[in-house]
């Protein structure tokens, strides 16, 4: 949960300010009670897919045209669970991207290193959500 909160703060900070270095992000996170180092901020930015462009950090917009997470393979696991497989280290960025879409039939996501679990409301919505996810990441690959 703390990771997700950190990611939300980083996203808000980068989207609303011109941030040129990781020290600014770390200082802001510390103000919010997080114990972070420049190295941990660097890992967060990489996991989130945040990129530096024209000297400033930019958060991916979630529409697939600002950054690519590479190929993501989705498969079902039971009636209400979708499992996404990706390149090592990018699962948190994928989960953030999925969450940013606010897909009504998705209850939540959990990210590991190279795997994302996507919980769906019910079995009737599983195939539709699978299609939406496939389209979302096909555009961004």
Query: Are 79 and 129 found together in one domain?
Result: yes
- Taking the model in full, what pTM does it have? 0.55
Measured distance CA(40)–CA(56) in Å, rounded: 18
- Does the structure show a pLDDT above 50 at 19? yes
Tell me the pLDDT tens digit for each residue of 101-113.
Answer: 889 999 999 998 8
103: phi then psi, degrees, rounded to nearest 5: -75, 120
Phi, psi (rounded to 5 degrees) for 23: -60, -35
Within this chain, do residues 38 and 80 fall inside the same structural domain, yes or no? Answer: no
CATH number at residue 16: 1.10.10.10
How many whole angstroms separate alpha carbon 89 and alpha carbon 114? 6
pLDDT digits (tens, 9 = 90+) for 41-79: 998 898 888 888 888 898 876 543 344 566 789 999 999
Phi, psi of 25 (to 5 degrees): -65, -45
- Domain of 80: which CATH number? 3.30.1360.40
38: helix, strand or coil = helix
């Amino acid at each position: 949960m703390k990771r997700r909160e950190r990611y939300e703060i980083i996203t808000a900070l980068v989207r609303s300010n011109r941030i040129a270095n990781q020290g600014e992000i770390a200082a802001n996170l510390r103000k919010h009670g997080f114990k972070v180092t420049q190295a941990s901020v660097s890992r967060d930015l990489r996991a989130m897919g945040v990129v530096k462009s024209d000297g400033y950090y930019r958060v991916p917009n979630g529409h697939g045209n600002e950054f690519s997470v590479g190929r993501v393979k989705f498969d079902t696991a039971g009636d209400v669970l979708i499992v996404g497989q990706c390149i090592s280290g990018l699962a948190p960025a994928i989960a953030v991207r999925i969450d940013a879409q606010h897909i009504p039939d998705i209850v939540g996501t959990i990210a590991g290193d190279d795997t994302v679990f996507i919980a769906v409301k019910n079995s009737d919505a599983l195939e539709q959500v699978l299609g939406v996810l496939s389209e979302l990441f096909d555009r961004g690959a």
